[in-house]
Each structure stands twice: as C-alpha cells, then as structure tokens.
Structure 1
Amino acid sequence: MRVAYLVADPGIPVFGTKGASVHVQEIVRALRARGDDVTVYATRRGDAVPDDLADVRIVEERVRGTGAQQREHGIRRAVDALVDAIAREGCDLVYERFSLFSAGGADVAERLGVPVVLEVNAPLVDEQRLHRDLVDEEGAVALAGRALRSADVVACVSAPVAEWARANGATNPLVVPNGVNTDRVRPPLVRRADDTTPTVGFVGTLKPWHGVDVLVEAMADIRRRGLHARLLIVGDGPQREELERHARRRGVDAAFTGAVAPQDIPEVLMRLDVGAAPYRAADDYFSPLKAYEYLAAGLPVVGSRVGQLADIVRHGRTGLLVTPGDARALADALQLLLDDPVLCRRMADEARRQAVAAHGWGGVLSRILDAVHPAVTA
C-alpha cells in the first residue's frame, strides 16, 4: 500500500530521541517490512536519523507562533497544509498518530475516500488540561471527537486509553500494546563475567512519575548493605540535575548519559544486568517501551506493579514486581537478582524468549491492519 503516516504533534519529532519518536520510527519500519510505500507527513522532522530510515520521505510543515494560543492555531494550520499535501499526492491508507488539534485523517478520508487508522497513545486532551496549557479546550475536544468517530480503526495502547477513546467518540477501540524491534534490540553475544561489577539501568525521560529518585534511593540502600553495583541512567529531562545531586549525596555510583539516539540504545542495553522501571503510582494508561526493550535485550525487569507492567513482566519468571514508590522493596528485588547470577541469567533468557514470541512490532502492526478491512466493510 501507499501509506500516509500523519504525525501532527510538534512535540514528537519523527527522528527524535524520546519514546514517542521511537514508536513512530518502529511503525515506519514495520510498514516498510511489509513492502508498503510510506511517506511521513509531520510537523517536526528531527535530526537523529537512523541509517536504515535515511531514505524515508518526510513532508514537513512546521508549527508557527509562540505561546499556547498561537501554538494551537499553528497546529491547525500545519495540519491543513499536510492534509492538502496528502490529498495531492494520494494514498491507500492514512495512519495517524492521535495529536491535539488534529482530525487530519478524517479530512483526508473525506477527500480521498481511503480508510484511516488512528493510533491513540494517551488521553491527550486530559493530559494537556492537567499538566500544560490548554486555551481552546472546546476546540480540542471537538477535533478529538471527530478524529475518534471518523477513524475506521482506533488502535489504543492500553485498556484505560481505549476507555477514554470510547468515552470521547470511538465506537469500538482496539487495544494493542506497544512492542519492540527484536532484530535491533538483542542480548550481547557474550555475557559479562560474574566477577565484574553489576549494573542496573534505567532508560527514559527523567520526569517525576518515572520514579528514578526511588531507584536512586534503592541503590543507596543496596550500598549500605555492602553490595557494590553501578547505576546507569540513560535519558534526559527536567529532573536530571536534581537526580544527579541526589545520587552524589547518597553515595551512589551513578552515571548519567543524557539523551541517546534510538539507534544507539541497543548497544547501551548490552551494558546492563537488570533493567529498572520504578514508576510511581499514578495514571496507569501507559504502555512502557522501556520494559519491552529490556525484555528484548535479555534483561530481567524490576519494576512497579502498576498499569501494564503487571502484564508485561511475569513476576518470578522475567523479572520482579514491587509496590510503587517503595525504595526498600525495590532494593530487595534488585539485590535478589544481583546476588544470584544464575537466577538473573535464567530470567534474562526467559525475558528474551517472551519478547521474541509476543512483542515484535510486526505483530503489533498486523493486529491493527487486520482490523482495517472488517471495519471498512462494516
């Protein structure tokens, strides 16, 4: 098929370093692996271009204006321009990542009569209202409703997101959790020697709800118990400086890499022995890419029993789950693995098997596209 992939959110560069950008890139890879011809229509291209996606055609329409109100108007104008471009060039399918102030897929469908997949990753209107500035809430709700009602398939990353989508206009949302590229993310060919210092890692944006401060405290607890282990924090965000100070104060052997390009993440994961996902108890609508990447890299996952993590991580088989925000419980789980290399390796092997069997992006995309024809027929 000729697929028009519409990404109207200016906060998500196609070739960026955060999880949303990784998601966009992996859907492009999965479409191309099927033999589809993909053009990405986006408000922000980005410059962290992986080698294997360097030839992907990007039609960019930047959002103009400063301030919340000007930004909202700018997104609408950019979406209109991108819709015009898709209509001129034609396509067989529109795959739209749900964005605030966009019903671009619905507009294309009206003009070309092609099916639309709307991928919903979060309740964006609620997020914007609670955590950022939302000037034209009425307009945002109206456009979200139109996008949700008009799409042939509304693919949601979790059940709570699907409930939100249904409440805002989607007729029969499909729950399809995120995945991982098991060809790109692999365990190391040679395991590290047991006598080297073990490393616990976190990959993600450094924001409060990720609970990295709890992880630092857990590592300090482990140090007090006499176990030497390193902490590797991969990513950037508003909490970075505070977390670096916290680690120094607590005497934790911690390294902070800053933002890392997605194509370099597989190599970074090979440096770890355990992957941490220490989320706090908060909104549970997310589908954490980091957990899938840990599994694919052959890492046992130590995470919070919250949201989708309880389904992704098989407690006692591919990792350990603890109470959100409980640094002592997190330290106990980490120490159990770090003290027992045989158990750690057994969980690592099972984690890799689970990722390959159940979480590849090809399977994620197939479940979405398999629903297109029945939806269009209905």
Structure 2
Amino acid sequence: MHVAYICIDPGIPVFGSKGASVHVQEIVRSWLARGADVTIYCTRTGDAVPADLRGVRVVSHPIARGSGPDRERSQREAAATLAAQAVQDGVTAVYERYSLFSDALTRITSASSVPGILEVNAPLIDEQRTHRTLHDEAAALGALKNQLSAAAVIACVSDPVAAWIAGHAAPNFPTKIITAPNGVNVNRIGPSPEDNGAPTVVFVGTLKPWHGVRDLIEAKALSDGSWNLRIVGDGPEGAGLRELAAVKGVDVEFTGASTPAEVPALLVGCAIAVAPYPRTEREEEQYFSPLKIYEYCAAGLPVVASEVGQVPAIIDHQVTGLLVEPSNPAALAAALDELAGTPLARRTMSVAARRFAENHSWDAVLDAILEGSDL
C-alpha cells in the first residue's frame, strides 16, 4: 500500500517540535508499522527530522510567508499541485490532515478511485474567523464540504470537533464520522525513578496564553515550597513568564525550546506533571485533545490538570491525577502541594497513568480510524 500523507497547513512543519508536528510524525510511524509505503506531501517540512523517519519520501510545495487573499490562494494552489503529484506517484490511499482551503483528498480520490481518510483536529474555519482573518470563507467552506463528501472516514480528535463536522455535512451524510483522540508513543516515552530531593513538577508545551503557564508560576509563588518547577518549551510568552517568575521571587527551571526527541529525557526524574489550561469564555473553545497529557501518562507521571474540555475524559481524578478549577492558581498550588507531600499516592497514580497510556498508543489510534474501512 502506498499512502499519501497530506498536510497543506503552512503553520505545521511536519518535522517541527509543536504538538501538531508530533501528531503528524506519529501517524506516519503507525502507517509504517502497518507495512505501508508512505510519502508525505506538505507545504512546510521543518528541519528536526527524527532518525527513524529520514528514509520517508517528502514532497514539498512551500508557501510564501504573509497573510491575506494571496496566501489563501497559495494554499489552494499548493493543494492542487501536491494532489497532482500524488496521483502521478500512483498512491493507493490518502490520509489528509484537514487544512483550510485544501481539497487535495477530493482531487486524489476522484482521479484515482482510491480510499481517503480525513483527520480533523480543530474547527479551523471558526478559529481563523475568530482569532485571525478569513478573507474567502466561501472557498474554505466549499473545500471542507468537498473533502467531507470524498472521504471514506472522517476521524475527529474530540466529540466537539465531530459535532462541528456533522454540522457542516450534507443531509443524510453517508460517510463515517468517528472520534479518535490523540495517543502516545509508549516506546519513545517511559517511566523513570524520581530524582532525590524535592519532587520536580514539569510542564511541557509552547509558551502561549492558552496553556496557562502564567497560572502555574502564580501557583508556585503560592505553594508551600515543597516542589521544584521545570518548564520545557518556549514561545511568545517566554520572556514575560521569566520576568513574572523573577517578580514573584520563585525559582523556575526554563529549559527553552526542545524537539520531540528531547522531551523524554527532560521528563526523566520528574515526579508530577501539570496541564494548567485556563478558563475560556466559551465552552466550545475547549475542543482539543491534549497531547501533552498522554505523554505525561506514558512517563508514569501523576497529572494535575484543569477540569476543562476533554481533560476529565483522560484524567481519572484521584486515580491518574488530580483535576482542579481552571484559572485558579491557589487551587493549583494546593493540588501540587498535596501530591508533592504524598509519595505513596504518587507511586500509585504513576502505575495507573502508565497503564492508561499503554491502552492509548498511536498504533491503537490508527487501528480505530481504519476499523471498518477498506484499508
């Protein structure tokens, strides 16, 4: 089987360090594990190519930086060009990560009569309209409807995303829509003994407002001081968060940006992981399936996380971690203090977290997506 993995989104380097990049790489690995020959068709490659994926063929059609109608038109042109190349390459199946303005899956399945799977990770049209600028919404909606009609399976990362897709589908829509939450590579990330001394609490992610790291630093300042804090990653809020830590007089280890290959080593020795997502104005904005929480669990780390969106479906309160009120640094501090002071509870949660992760591997995610299909 020759699978075309397609990602037209210029904001996602397939060999980058952001969560979306990890998702791309892991799905490609799972296709390879099934014995497929995979070619990646994308608009942005990135330069952090994992050693085990260096043999994967990549066809790139770069899009110039910028914004506005020209960029939207460039995305449509890239989809057409890459789809034509995939048809020429003789692919026998298509797996596309949903991107604004792309109709690549539609073009390939129509030209070659091969099965196609559309993976949807966010309500991109709503996101673009709300947080950025969407110039040609009619074109974006038209491309989405065409993709939905052409796909044999539509795999949505969460139930809210699946509901969004269903809302855009035609009446009596025959295509199979399923919910396929994120997974984790349990071979790449595993448990390790805690370091001696005060427990280390770790956060992994891009330092952007919607990850709630400001609340985490506030919580550290309010805590009883019984735990250390390590923040893995960097981003637009990096400088401001370092300044906040200095103002609050708290000692925080900022590791800086890291590649996915470096993350497992940065989790070694940690005792607790945290996902302090803030409260949002609208509940429907909490549609994401948090990749970091699955990785925390694979590392055998009890997780303290905000009780928002899909998180309660992942973290079993008092079993694999603790759920806290979002945007409440005092509650977050109290939960972290509690776990830091109870090593037996941490050990019990560690075993449960790892067991949970082992049942949510990326191979299992792809198996669920393909179940009942012709692939």
User: Are 1:14 and 1:25, in contact at CA under 8 Å, matched by a contact in 2?
Assistant: yes
| Residues 17-44 of structure 1: per-residue CA shift (max 9 Å, x gap) | 0000000000011111111111100101
Partner of 2:188: 184
Partner of 2:335: 333
Taking the aligned partners of 1:263 and 1:230, their CA distance within structure 2 comes to 23
CA drift at 1:66: 3.1
Partner of 2:296: 294
Percent identity for Structure 1 against Structure 2: 50
Return the TM-score normalized by structure 2. 0.95
CA drift at 1:151: 0.8
Taking the aligned partners of 1:317 and 1:267, their CA distance within structure 2 comes to 25
Taking the aligned partners of 1:234 and 1:65, their CA distance within structure 2 comes to 28
1:262 to 255, 260, 263: 260
Partner of 2:244: 246
Partner of 2:4: 4
Partner of 1:355: 357
Taking the aligned partners of 2:133 and 2:204, their CA distance within structure 1 comes to 27
Q: How many residues align?
A: 367
CA drift at 1:144: 1.3
CA drift at 1:65: 5.8
SS in structure 2 opposite 1:173? strand
CA drift at 1:198: 1.6
CA drift at 1:338: 0.3
CA drift at 1:93: 0.8
The amino acid of 1:261's aligned partner reads: T
Taking the aligned partners of 2:326 and 2:194, their CA distance within structure 1 comes to 30
The verdict on how the C-alpha distance between 1:280 and 1:267 changes in structure 2, with shifts beyond 3 A counting, is: same
Taking the aligned partners of 1:206 and 1:148, their CA distance within structure 2 comes to 33
The amino acid of 2:183's aligned partner reads: G
Taking the aligned partners of 1:365 and 1:96, their CA distance within structure 2 comes to 13
The verdict on how the C-alpha distance between 1:314 and 1:84 changes in structure 2, with shifts beyond 3 A counting, is: same
Taking the aligned partners of 1:65 and 1:217, their CA distance within structure 2 comes to 36
SS in structure 1 opposite 2:262? helix
Taking the aligned partners of 2:102 and 2:335, their CA distance within structure 1 comes to 44
| Residues 196-217 of structure 1: per-residue CA shift (max 9 Å, x gap) | 1221111111111211111111
Partner of 2:82: 82
SS in structure 1 opposite 2:353? helix
Taking the aligned partners of 1:312 and 1:278, their CA distance within structure 2 comes to 14
CA drift at 1:284: 1.4
1:321 to 303, 323, 344: 323
Return the TM-score normalized by structure 1. 0.95
User: Counterparts of 1:70-149 in structure 2 under 5 Å?
Assistant: 70-149=70-149
| Residues 51-79 of structure 1: per-residue CA shift (max 9 Å, x gap) | 11111110011113633222111111111
User: Are 2:189 and 2:299, in contact at CA under 8 Å, matched by a contact in 1?
Assistant: yes
Taking the aligned partners of 1:336 and 1:65, their CA distance within structure 2 comes to 47
User: Are 1:153 and 1:372, in contact at CA under 8 Å, matched by a contact in 2?
Assistant: yes
Taking the aligned partners of 2:99 and 2:369, their CA distance within structure 1 comes to 18
SS in structure 2 opposite 1:122? coil
SS in structure 2 opposite 1:263? coil
The amino acid of 1:192's aligned partner reads: D
Q: How large is the RMSD of aligned CA atoms in angstroms?
A: 1.3
Runs of 4+ in 1 over 3 A off after TM superposition: none
